[in-house]
Amino acid sequence: MQIWGDHIVSCGDSSSSKAKKKKKKKKKKKKKKKKKKKKKKKKKKKKKKKKKKKKKKKKKKKKKKNKKKYIICHECKRGRKTTAMTVISTSTQQQ
């Protein structure tokens, strides 16, 4: 459980369903990208593969920075942006 200020953070019914739909869309896009990458990889040379590895390292660093913006929901144990959360105030429960 994660407390954010004086609040317990949890996903609301409407926002969580929206988040699930978004996640599904992202998965579909990733699958399409992977298929395209496989086709391109067969055609490209070793020099270009080395350049791709450098780009991937940069992307990973960016992802780590973004993780700080997310708060973990105590119900579904998933990281969500604060805008996709419903905040329930609490005074008795602690971290």
Q: Got the DSSP string for 4-52?
A: ETTEEEE--HHHHHHHHHHHHHHHHHHHHHHHHHHHHHHHS-HHHHHHH
Number of residues written out for the chain = 95
Predicted confidence (pLDDT) per residue in 22-73, tens digit: 777 777 777 777 777 777 666 666 666 666 666 666 666 555 555 555 566 6
Token pair for 17: 């369903």
Mean pLDDT of 63-89: 56
pTM, rounded to two decimals: 0.19
Neighbouring CB atoms inside 10 A of 93's CB total: 10
Higher pLDDT, residue 80 or 42: 42
Report the alpha-carbon distance of residue 10 to residue 21 in Å, rounded.
Answer: 18
Higher pLDDT, residue 83 or 48: 48
Token pair for 2: 């994660």
Going by the DSSP 8-state scheme, the letter that residue 91 receives in this structure is S
Segment of 1-5, 72-76, 84-88 carrying the highest mean pLDDT: 72-76
